[in-house]
Amino acid sequence: MNYKINQRNKVLRAKERGIYDKKTVYEILDAGKIAHVGIIMDQQPFVIPMSYARVDDTIILHGALNSRICTSLIEGMPACITVTHLDGLVLARSTFSHSMNYRSVVAFGTARQIEDRDRKTKALESLVEFLAPGRTSDCRPPNKKELNATSVVEFKIEQASAKVRSGGPKDKQADLDLDVWAGTVPISQHYGDWQAAEDLKQGINFPNYKEGIK
């Protein structure tokens, strides 16, 4: 199933890289950890990096009750959310033809506040599970005071587009004989060794879901 295409989400530059099917959009969102949320307040653009979770066709965000970004979203301000993965450097024979391999999503929509206590708790759990699957099985859930101090919003994805570039350099035919190295430099994100907190009680081993977070 595809998102409807219009001037808001249509990919104009390198349009052949534009993808509009929900499966690809979801895969790119699910592979990320940080989203950049853009809004306009008092004619001034603001773009804020935030942790997030995708739940079906919504993106869950959270922040302090008095945070500017959450307050604006709750008021129904239109927003744009982007997630980008840098997969490699593309080194061409000419400086003009250099590029990057990447996967990105631009999503448009409006958000609404989650006020129901049970739904709010579940949404916060989804944020933790999105970062570390299995983590909520052995952690203390938020108490009433913590819930009351947190604003949780769900951003309905009304429209979105993905943009993907892969492969090697695309040099001009006239540059192929230049004595210049050309190719790609892959970039990947990986998890390092787990480091226990300095104040961790003795005898606590790594959780059984550790191997699934990598």
114 located within any domain: yes
Residue 118 is assigned to a structural domain of this protein = yes
Q: Could you give phi then psi for residue 72, rounded to 5 degrees? A: -65, -40
Q: Which residue segment(s) compose the domain that 127 sits in?
A: 15-88+97-167
Domain-embedded: residue 47: yes
Q: What is the DSSP string of 1-65?
A: -BPPP-TTT---TTGGGEE-BHHHHHHHHHT-SEEEEEEEETTEEEEEEEE-EEETTEEEEEEET
- The 10s digit of each residue's pLDDT in 94-132 is 999 999 999 999 999 999 999 999 999 999 999 999 999
pTM of the model: 0.91
Is 35 a domain residue? yes
Asked whether residue 42 carries a pLDDT value surpassing 90, the answer given is no
The answer on pLDDT for 86 being more than 80 is: yes
Q: Is residue 28 part of a domain?
A: yes
Number of domains in the chain: 1
**What pLDDT sits at residue 12?**
80
In a domain, 190, yes or no: no
DSSP state for residue 179 in the 8-state scheme: S
- The domain that holds 58 is classified in CATH as 2.30.110.10
Does residue 176 sit within a domain?
no
* Mean of the per-residue pLDDT values of the chain: 93
Is 208 a member of any domain?
Answer: no
Q: How many residues does the chain have?
A: 214
